[in-house]
Amino acid sequence: MGARIAEITAELRAAGGITPGEIEQLLANVTGRNGAWLRAYGETALSDKMETTVREFAARRIAGEPLPYIVGSCGFHGHTFLVDNRVLVPRPETEHLVDEALVFLKDREYGRVLDVGTGSGAIACSILAENRTATAEALDVSADALLVAMANAHRLGVELRLSFFFGDVSLPVLRPFYDAIVANLPYVPTKDIARSPDPVSFEPRLALDGGPDGLDHYRRFVKHAPRLLAMDGLCLMEAAPPVISGLEWLACAAWPDAQVSVEADYGGRPRYVKVRTGALRE
């Protein structure tokens, strides 16, 4: 038999580079037990195979690999999504886009949603899982990412209301008018990617690189999105604080008669641009 749970936990804590919570998550993933059980039965010995796996997983985490890639899943908006190195790890701040869309769609029976740059499908799948009458189309320029998103749509039971397309918002197959368009496109300036710390260095560059100023993909997006959004619609675009003012300017130029605002994330940082058509501009 291998080491005891308490023993290997203490050893990994002493080694550093991995938090106690992450150690517990790795042990839970390998043993199939929850945290409460692991803490109550710390004297239980792991099998040799389990111990080897835990140590391999811990070494990968200490090397900087995101924990969701190691365990193969990630929590987002109350759901569990399959993730691997074909897609970005869903971020907590992206949950704001889901919240905004759900509030907007609440009184709209059979609302239509367009998710641009769907990645793992976290945004579209979460919206459909929590609004049982909405339908959605999800786009991505990565065929690998679409495979992950399709698996998640099946996992959450929304695949019959969610269609997937390979490409971007310029696709002629897209039919106006969407009640809500949500975009989480690459927005990291190219020069910043090389020096980005964990976990970004492990994630697909295609999903990160926004060009010289981080806004290349959004410039293309705003050329096509206005014709797809309903006259009384909502468009949400996520970015990072350093590029958010540029994205706001693009949105104001693309929707001159809409209400455009910059909204903050949980930490109070400017995180996404919100466009409301059919509303008076402040």
pLDDT for residue 196: 52
User: Each residue of 203-243: pLDDT tens digit?
Assistant: 999 999 999 999 999 999 999 999 999 999 999 999 999 99
Confidence class of residue 111 from pLDDT cuts 50, 70 and 90? Answer: very high
Residue among 146, 155, 153, 145 at smallest CA distance from 124 = 153
Residue 282 has pLDDT above 50, yes or no: no
Report the chain's mean pLDDT, rounded to a whole number.
93
Question: Within the chain, which residue ranges are assigned CATH 3.40.50.150?
Answer: 86-276
pLDDT for residue 281: 47
- % of the chain surpassing 70 pLDDT: 96
User: Each residue of 56-70: pLDDT tens digit?
Assistant: 999 999 998 999 999
pLDDT for residue 197: 52
Q: Rounded mean pLDDT of 107-121?
A: 96
pLDDT for residue 202: 87
Residue 152's CB is within 10 A of a number of other CB atoms, namely: 28
CA distance 68 to 46: 22
- % of the chain surpassing 90 pLDDT: 88
Q: Rounded mean pLDDT of 125-133?
A: 97
| Neighbouring C-alpha atoms within 13 Å toward the C-beta of 254 | 26
Compute the Cα dihedral for 266, 267, 269, 271 and give only its sign.
Answer: negative
Residue 77 has pLDDT above 90, yes or no: yes
Extract the runs of DSSP E, i.e. beta strands, from 78-228. Answer: 79-82, 112-116, 135-140, 162-166, 178-183
- 66 burial class (0-12, 13-18, 19+ CB within 10 angstroms)? buried
User: pTM of this prediction?
Assistant: 0.92
Regarding the domain delimited by 86-276, which CATH topology (the fold level of the hierarchy) does it fall under?
A: Rossmann fold (3.40.50)
Q: Are 271 and 96 in contact (CB under 8 A)?
A: yes
User: Each residue of 143-157: pLDDT tens digit?
Assistant: 999 999 999 999 999
pLDDT for residue 195: 59
pLDDT for residue 13: 93
* Least confident span in 113-122, 156-165, 189-198: 189-198
